[in-house]
Amino acid sequence: MSNYEDDENTHRLEQVFTSIDPMQVRMARDLLDAGGIDAFIFDDGASRLLGSTVAVKARLMVHADCADEARERLKELGFTN
């Protein structure tokens, strides 16, 4: 694998958790951040803009090279989809 491929995997994001409850997604992000895994929330406010909390789920994203570890940690803590 070339350095370019390593770099590309580091910058690609993968979804590791999703919920209609944005608070759950924020809690999951905080737990991953505390464990040293950078996590990003997508679509957090989209449902509210559309007038429904179930229209668009909030998504928790991490760098692709950390996705497996993030999913495992979330599973251990009870955050499952």
Phi then psi dihedrals of residue 58, to 5 deg: -75, 140
Where are the chain's structural domains? 3-76
pLDDT, tens only, 14-70: 999 999 888 899 999 999 999 999 999 998 877 666 665 567 889 999 999 999 999
Architecture of domain 3-76: 2-Layer Sandwich (3.30)
- Give the model's confidence band at 2: pLDDT under 50 very low, under 70 low, under 90 confident, else very high: very low
Give the per-residue pLDDT at 40: 97
> Can you give the pTM of this predicted structure?
0.78
Task: For residue 13, give every residue at least 6 positions away whose Cβ sits within 8 Å of its Cβ, in sequence order, or none.
Answer: 40, 61, 62, 63, 64
Report the C-alpha gap between 27 and 12 in whole angstroms: 22
